[in-house]
Amino acid sequence: MIVIAERINATRKSIARALRERDEEYIIGETRKQTDAGSDFIDVNAGSDPASEIENLSWAVEVVQANTDLPLCLDCASSEGFEKALSLVENDVVMLNSINGEEEKLRAILPIAARSGAELVGLLMDERGLPQGIEDRMEIAEKIIGRAEEAGIPVEKLYLDPCIQPLSTTPQDVNNVIGATEKIMATFPGVHTTAGLSNIGFGLPYRGLLNRVFLSYLIRAGMDSAILDPTEPDMMATLYAAEALSGRDDFCMNYIQAERQGLFGADG
């Protein structure tokens, strides 16, 4: 599974403060912790203040990439922000987070992703708002894939996000996300699926427990990427165990290797 590490996100008060105060040491610490935890991409989101988002994202990109060899996932609300951040990226691999099914987003971001060769997250929502079931997610998935291919972006570079909504407010949507993941992976060979995992437990106690259990459900459904906190206790252990139990880890070799690398923590 491709792990997109979520902690450098300006919705977290500590990150918003670090961006505002240009606290390099704090951002470096978060970068290195997530790198050491076994991530594949480091998400960089500087969107707490729209007026300074582009400037803050540019600063964060330079600090993060100077302290990890991992590729970045640039999380931005504007095409201008993506363009500026991409001009600073040194790694040949980069991800843009995100587009959705809205025409304005597709027209603005797809050409940028095509020119840069970036991987691209596509949220399965559109002008109608958040999805309500499996079929509307499939409709938006087909639209995004079709428009991306028209722009010259191969399906293998797309990461479709079925938009997890909080269990506390929309408990019926859990099965929709699982069902949509299964159907997308079966219908569109080569495409990836991903999700902002921590949304599931919003507002509930033992949020980390819900995150980990739901991750195992999603892996069983075929999801091959997730936006998550790799430093959360037992998160990476759950990921590797779920992949092994789902038949996605031949002879449990990834599971064994992860344990040898210390990714399961002291109680692994």
- What amino acid occupies position 104? E
Q: Examine the domain organization and report whether 152 and 29 are in the same domain.
A: yes
Structure tokens at 36: 């050491």
3-state secondary structure of 193: strand
Tokens standing for residue 19:
């961006």
CA distance 7 to 124: 23
Q: Within 13 Å of residue 58, how many CA atoms lie on the same side as its CB?
A: 11
Q: Looking at the structure, tell me whether residues 219 and 238 fall in a common domain.
A: no
Q: Which two tokens stand for residue 213?
A: 């259990």
Both 185 and 241 in a single domain?
no
Residues 155, 253: one domain? no
Pair 137, 253 in one domain? no
Distance of alpha carbon 180 from alpha carbon 164, whole angstroms: 11
The residue among 75, 5, 74, 77 whose CA lies nearest residue 225 is 5
- Residue 218 burial (CB count, 10 A): 25
Are residues 15 and 146 located together in one domain of the fold?
yes
The whole domain housing 142 covers 2-233
**Angle between helix 79-86 and helix 53-65 axes, rounded to 10 deg:** 30
216 and 243 housed in the same domain: no
Do 193 and 249 fall within a single domain? no
What was the pLDDT predicted at 268? 45
Domain count, the chain: 2
AA letter at 257: Q
Burial of 2 (0-12, 13-18, 19+ CB in 10 A): middle
**Are 254 and 209 in the same domain?**
no
Helix, coil or strand: residue 41: strand
Enter the pTM of the model. 0.96
Tell whether 16 and 97 lie within a shared domain: yes
How does pLDDT run along the chain (268 residues), one tens digit per residue? Answer: 999 999 999 999 999 999 999 999 999 999 999 999 999 999 999 998 889 999 999 999 999 999 999 999 999 999 999 999 999 999 999 999 999 999 999 999 999 999 999 999 999 999 999 999 999 999 999 999 999 999 999 999 999 999 999 999 999 999 999 999 999 999 999 999 999 999 999 999 999 999 999 999 999 999 999 999 999 999 999 999 999 999 999 999 999 999 998 888 755 4
Q: What is the chain's alpha carbon radius of gyration, rounded to the nearest angstrom? A: 18
Helices (H) and strands (E) in the chain, counts: 10, 8
Is 139 in contact with 106 (CB distance < 8 Å)? no
CA distance to 122, 142, 191, 226, per residue, from 159 (Å): 6, 13, 7, 10
Per-residue model confidence (pLDDT) at position 35: 98
Q: What's 135's domain CATH number?
A: 3.20.20.20
Identify the pLDDT of residue 266.
54
List 227's β-bridge partners, or say none. Answer: 4, 196
Q: Are residues 266 and 214 in the same domain?
A: no
172 and 262 assigned to the same domain: no
Helix, coil or strand: residue 111: helix
